[in-house]
Amino acid sequence: DQPIIGTEMGSTVTTRGIYEKDTIKGYVPDQDITAPWWASRAEEWWTLAANNDFWLGGFIWTGMDYRGEPTPYQWPNINSHFGVMDMCGFPKNIYHYYKSWWTDKDVLHISPHWNFREKGPGWNKPKGDPVDVWVNTNADNVELFLNGKSLGKKDMPRNSHLKWTVNYEPGKLEAIAYKNGKRLYQKVETTGMPFEVVVTPYKTTILADGKDATVLNITVLDREGREVPDADNLIKFSIEGPGKIIGVGNGDPSSHEPDKCVEGMCQRTLFNGKCQVIIQAGTETGMIKFEAKATGLWSGGTDIQTISPESINKVTVDSKYRLTTEQVKPVEVGKMLGADISFLPELEIRGMQFSDNGIEKDAIQILKDHGFNYVRLRIFNNPARDSGYSPGKGFCDLENTKKMAKRVKAAGMKLLLDFHYSDYWADPGKQYKPVAWRNLSFEDLKKAVYDYTREVMQQLKEQGTTPDMVQVGNEINHGIIWPEGNVSNFDGLAQLINAGTKAVKDIDPSVVMMLHVALGGQNDESVFFIDNMIARGVHFDVIGESYYPKWHGTLEDLETNLEDLSRRYNRDVIVVEYSHRKEEVNKLAFEVPGGRGKGTCIWEPLSTWEKFFDDKGKANDLLKLYDEISKKYLKD
């Protein structure tokens, strides 16, 4: 009657992104099919453990690959294949098997990728070569499609996987699954050739203590923005500013490229579409500029702010802008299916007219017809300046914002107002101070923020268009109103935010306050920033995150971040900027545990990136996705 637990289980060997055994290069297939004679496949041991009450479970060998023990090979293979992740932490397919049965998250994963051009049909073979397609999921059943044609529907055996043998042809492989009546969807596509290098940093603010570091993942996209899973380009790295590259890698167990490189000569080859860089801060504050280049491709890059450790320890609060007891009471955050359409007046001035199913309508009404209930508007201080956002025209100034607010409210929609506190765009890479505020002392600058914010709110209230939600600053993880409000000066930043928040609450205490950062998949930095804001008395009701896959990580990164922030701070969360992966982002944003996920706000869908309308204003199928999204998530 003694329970048991496995202390080293599995020891399954796989190589990320490899689908045929290669004894020359020292690779094994990235599926749960290979184990040493003394070990077992993942499905073998876990099926036994899961089905026997006396078996408490086990610890897999191993979580990540490691140097040495290159089972089943020898030198020149240089590290193990045992991990469910490779040496860089990139997941292998077996990772998704364990995730299916060890978590309560919805899992639907297709492998392999679909870039087997050499296996396709040709002049000498009418059919493509057979490819084993694996699906890892915890759904009840799965139907697989190739280029729209069903390859059959199968029930999912518990603690197992599904497999189809498919004659390869380029295109799109899709899986539709149902779990307790809920529809899950996943796809893999044949991509084009590499076009652009993408750099995804996992922290963009680090301490200038000579120790703190950040991981940057490197991938490449094709012309349609799809990650190329079999890319092998050589990527060269350059860095400027108070930091250094301390390591590079790609997870290839047979790579003999140096992990440490001579300054100015850092590079790494992509291994099945991925490589990685680690940057460490020096002891000076400032901005690190990192760039990744490959021959013939658009380069990628990122900026990393280094800040003094002493700036964190110093905490001061200006009592002049403290909120009253009434003003700090939590405000209920309703569900948002929103769109930032601040470009609309500019598009209309150019003569663009919008139509849906052949019927011409106001773009705002078309969005409402497809389930949208919120509009986000950005506002600049003086955008008409020569150096402003809209020289001589003043789009997105107070007067234009008032006109748009009237249209939004007349359509029966809610309004999110986004203060940039600049004459120009404000984001993590730039937070330029309005020209009119340039020579103010810090005390006068805080007063200017308060007075300006209050005046905007007052005028909107007087015309009956008080915003339902306000964000004091746009994507503020590197600060607002530089230099006083730079993230290197948390006290100054928080005091400026508090001045703006106080002005909003003085006009209407019921307005929902959003804290907006551009860190969709960067959990460590999100926590670091929010902790420092809370320590300095910054008030907010909801956390807003931007999520663009090029800069903010994977969908799993986003999911982890939203769940952690909502639980850690007992606050609601909204993905307040996104464009791509519409269905997936909305699913994650609305399905945060505990009902804390309040939705999304897509950025400029009228005319930008994956837009809802063609160049003549005619609605396309992307807009129709929101019929189902709104029905699913706004039904109550």
- Is 336-633 in the same CATH topology as 4-183? no
- Taking residues 311-322, what's their average pLDDT? 92
CA terminus-to-terminus distance, the chain: 50
pLDDT surpasses 90 at 265: no
Helices (H) and strands (E) in the chain, counts: 13, 30
Whether the CB-CB separation of 586 and 613 falls below 8 Å is answered with no
Q: Write the pLDDT tens digit of every residue in 127-169.
A: 999 999 999 999 999 999 999 999 999 999 999 999 999 999 9
Query: Average per-residue pLDDT in the chain?
Result: 96
The residue assigned the tokens 């909502």 is 566
Q: Which CATH number applies to 336-633?
A: 3.20.20.80
What count of Cα atoms within 13 Å lies in the side-chain half-sphere of residue 20? 6
Residue 193 in tokens: 């050739």
Q: How confident is the model at residue 261 (pLDDT cuts 50, 70, 90)?
A: confident
**CA dihedral (589, 545, 420, 344) positive or negative:** negative
Q: Write the pLDDT tens digit of every residue in 177-230.
A: 999 999 999 999 999 999 999 999 999 999 999 999 999 999 999 999 999 999
Q: How far apart are CA 550 and CA 221, in angstroms?
A: 9
pLDDT surpasses 70 at 358: yes
CATH entry 2.60.40.10 includes domain 4-183 = yes
- Taking residues 302-328, what's their average pLDDT? 94
Residue 19 in tokens: 């689908």
Catalogue the active-site residues: 475, 577
Cα 60–106–340 angle (5° rounding)? 125
Q: Write the pLDDT tens digit of every residue in 520-573.
A: 999 999 999 999 999 999 999 999 999 999 899 999 999 999 999 999 999 999
Which residues partner with 444 through β-bridges? none
pLDDT surpasses 90 at 423: yes
Q: Write the pLDDT tens digit of every residue in 29-79.
A: 999 999 999 999 999 999 999 999 999 999 999 999 999 999 999 999 999
Per-residue pLDDT at 263: 81
Per-residue pLDDT at 262: 84
Q: How confident is the model at residue 1 (pLDDT cuts 50, 70, 90)?
A: confident
The residue assigned the tokens 């005319």 is 607
Determine which helix (DSSP H) or strand (DSSP E) holds 347, and give its type and residue range: helix 344-349
Question: What does pTM read for this prediction?
Answer: 0.93
Longest distance between any two alpha carbons in the chain, whole Å: 83
**Cis, peptide link before residue 137, omega less than 30° from 0:** no
Per-residue pLDDT at 139: 97
Q: How far apart are CA 190 and CA 115, in angstroms?
A: 5
Per-residue pLDDT at 636: 62
Q: Write the pLDDT tens digit of every residue in 574-589.
A: 999 999 999 999 999 9
pLDDT surpasses 80 at 123: no
SS3 content of the chain, % helix, strand, coil (to 5): 25, 30, 45
Q: How confident is the model at residue 120 (pLDDT cuts 50, 70, 90)?
A: confident
Pairing of the two strands 469-472 and 512-517: parallel
CATH entry 3.30.70.3270 includes domain 196-307 = no
Determine which helix (DSSP H) or strand (DSSP E) holds 140, and give its type and residue range: none
Which residues partner with 307 through β-bridges? 207
Per-residue pLDDT at 342: 96
Q: Where are the domains of the chain?
A: 4-183, 196-307, 336-633
- Taking residues 325-344, what's their average pLDDT? 96
Determine which helix (DSSP H) or strand (DSSP E) holds 73, and give its type and residue range: none
Tell which residue, 149, 152, 279, 170, has the closest CA to residue 226.
170
pLDDT surpasses 70 at 494: yes
What are the angstrom distances between the C-alpha of 243 and each of 136, 258, 501, 529, 592? 41, 20, 35, 21, 36
Whether the CB-CB separation of 41 and 32 falls below 8 Å is answered with yes
Q: Write the pLDDT tens digit of every residue in 78-107.
A: 999 999 999 999 999 999 999 999 999 999
- DSSP labels for 145-161? EETTEEEEEEE--TTS-
Residue 53 in tokens: 């009450």
Q: Write the pLDDT tens digit of every residue in 379-419.
A: 999 999 999 999 999 999 999 999 999 999 999 999 999 99
Determine which helix (DSSP H) or strand (DSSP E) holds 597, and give its type and residue range: strand 597-603
Buried b (16+ CB within 10 A) or exposed e, 483-492: ebbbbbbbbb
- Taking residues 342-356, what's their average pLDDT? 95
